[in-house]
Each structure stands twice: as structure tokens, then as C-alpha cells.
Amino acid sequence: MNQDQKKETVITSLFAQWTKSATDFWGNMLQMQFGMSDASEASRKNPFHQTQKAYESGAKILGALISTLSQPENLESALKGMDSLPEFIIQMAQQSWESYLELQKKMAESAAKIGQHTEAYKFEGIDQNVFKAWRDIYEKEFRQYLNVPQLGLNRFHQERIARLIDTLNIFQASLNEFIYMFYIPIEKSGAVMQEKIEQLAEKGEIHDNFKEYYNMWIKTLEGHYMTLLKSPEYAEVMNNTINALVQYREAKQEVLYDILKEFPIPTNKDMDELYNDLYILKKKVSELCRKLDESRQ
């Protein structure tokens, strides 16, 4: 018998001992709790006795399960199953950590680019890698956990909550990218202003009026914004944000309807149905009035 086999035998024996004492302990506890009640026919029908029976039955099932588990061959397979749990956790953590490192790498790359070189009035190939990386990682690594099929009575509610979390994450990512787009012209204008001031300084034409610099800066900024806002890149980011917002709002409303259903107040969904009926009715009435007027004439 090698060392590993010895260790296993010890664990199995310990586990068998523990399961036996646990079964005995819970059996005795039940006996103590319910043992004092009388066993007459009348008492057998009362609810207390029914509960006692239910507990006894439960204890027997538990005992049987524990006894089965304590058999060496079953225990071994159970322990193997438990072995896979840490593996699963490690795998998850590893994936998350890799994703985090990937994101950090992209962020570091972007940070290194800041101030390196910014070409005025050009917005092709804007560095949106960080946002794209985050979205990719989220969609590949995290989103799948929210899409795990839900089971049981509450499955639809759970699904709606999972969708809310998912759409919120996507919306936040899109909004961050959208806001970042508005920062780019400020960065570019700053760089252009630096160049302009350097040129003025070289020529010895530095203005003593701050308003002159402000006017120069605001004109440059306006130009940059105009170029950005007309670009297909901006339209794409704007469209992504709009779609993400719409989906997030839809998911949020679905969850809210679930909650509000429990309260005695009409939801927007209820009211919309009512408004639609009213709208159709009004149209029908005015059409009928018009026909009536025509027939009178």
C-alpha cells in the first residue's frame, strides 16, 4: 500500500465515522423532539404528528443518503466530483485574470500613445482599442455566464434580470466610448494650439490679449468637432450608443413591470394598451362623424 492509498483509506474511514455519528445525532434529536407526544389515534391526526412524520421521513432519506455516501466506492466518486469544483473556480478566475491583463495591456498601449502624435482634423482610425477590447472580453468571457439557461418557476424573472445586467454593461461601455469621442477634439485642439503658439513665439508675435488665444482655440475646437461629427466613425459610435440605450431601457422596463405587477398601480404597458384603444376609438368616431356630416349634406 503506497502513501496515497494509505491517505485515501484514512480519509474514507474518517468520513464513514463522521457520517455515522451525524446520522445518529440527527436521529436522536428527532426522537427527543417528537418522542414525548402520545401515540393515540386522535393525536395521529393532529398537524403536529403529521409534521413529526414528515421530519422522520426526511431523516430516513438523509440517513440513507449519508450511508450510501459513506460506502468507499461512492465516497471516492463524490470526492472526485468535489475535486472538480476548485478546478472550475480556478478556470473561471484564470479566464477573468487573463481578460483583465489583456484589457490592462490595451490600456497601457493607449496611455503610451497619448501626447505622442495627434494629427489635426483627422479622425480616421481613432484609437478606440480600449473600448473594443473591453467589449470583446465582456462578450466572450463574461456575457456567457448571464446567458446560462435559467431553470424553474422563476426562470423568466431571472432571465429578465440577467438581460438587464447584460444590457446595462453594454450601454455603459457604449456611453463611455461616446463620451470619449467628445474628448478627442479637445486633445487635438490642445496640440494644435501648442504648435500655433510655438510658431507665434518664434516670430515674436505673442498676443498679450487672452481673448485672442481663446478665439483661436474655440475656432480650432469647432473645426475639430465639425470634422469628427461628420465622420462615419462618430455616426457608428452614436448609433451603437442609441441601440444600447434602447435595449437597456427595454430590459429595465421589463424588470420594472415584473415588480410593479405586485402593486395596485397601472404600468406604462397597461396604459399604452389603453391609449392605443382610445386612439383607435377616437379615429373611428371622427370618421363616422365625417361620414354622417357628408350624408346630411
Residues lying near another protein in the complex (CB under 8 A): 182, 185, 201, 204, 206, 208-210, 214, 218, 221-222, 225-226, 229-230, 232, 235, 238-239, 242-243, 245-246, 249-250, 268, 271-272, 275-276, 278-279, 283, 286, 293, 296-297
Question: Closest distance between another protein and the C-beta of residue 295, in Å?
Answer: 13
Smaller CB distance to another protein: residue 12 or 247? 247
CB 140, CB 102: distance < 8 Å: no
Question: Closest distance between another protein and the C-beta of residue 232, in Å?
Answer: 8
Beta strands in 160-280 (DSSP E): none
Question: Closest distance between another protein and the C-beta of residue 128, in Å?
Answer: 17
Contacts of 265 (CB under 8 A, 6+ apart): none
Smaller CB distance to another protein: residue 28 or 194? 194
Contacts of 166 (CB under 8 A, 6+ apart): 143, 146, 147, 251
Quick one: CA dihedral 291, 292, 296, 297, positive or negative? negative
Q: Helices 210-230 and 155-203 sit at what angle, rounded to 10 degrees?
A: 140
Q: Which three cell numbers stand for residue 249?
A: 431601457
Residue 241: CA count within 13 A, CB half-sphere = 16
Smaller CB distance to another protein: residue 80 or 203? 203
Question: Closest distance between another protein and the C-beta of residue 279, in Å?
Answer: 4
Q: Widest CA span of the chain, in angstroms?
A: 113
Question: Closest distance between another protein and the C-beta of residue 255, in Å?
Answer: 15
Q: In this structure, how many other beta carbons lie within 10 angstroms of the beta carbon of residue 234?
A: 19
CB 129, CB 106: distance < 8 Å: yes
Question: Closest distance between another protein and the C-beta of residue 207, in Å?
Answer: 8
Quick one: CA dihedral 125, 126, 129, 131, positive or negative? negative
Question: Closest distance between another protein and the C-beta of residue 242, in Å?
Answer: 6
CA distance 9 to 72: 9
Question: Closest distance between another protein and the C-beta of residue 246, in Å?
Answer: 5
Smaller CB distance to another protein: residue 10 or 206? 206
Smaller CB distance to another protein: residue 52 or 167? 167
Q: Which three cell numbers stand for residue 77?
A: 466518486
Smaller CB distance to another protein: residue 93 or 274? 274
Q: Which three cell numbers stand for residue 131?
A: 473600448
Smaller CB distance to another protein: residue 90 or 288? 288
Smaller CB distance to another protein: residue 144 or 209? 209
Which helix (DSSP H) or strand (DSSP E) does residue 134 occupy? helix 129-137
Cα end-to-end span (Å), the chain: 111
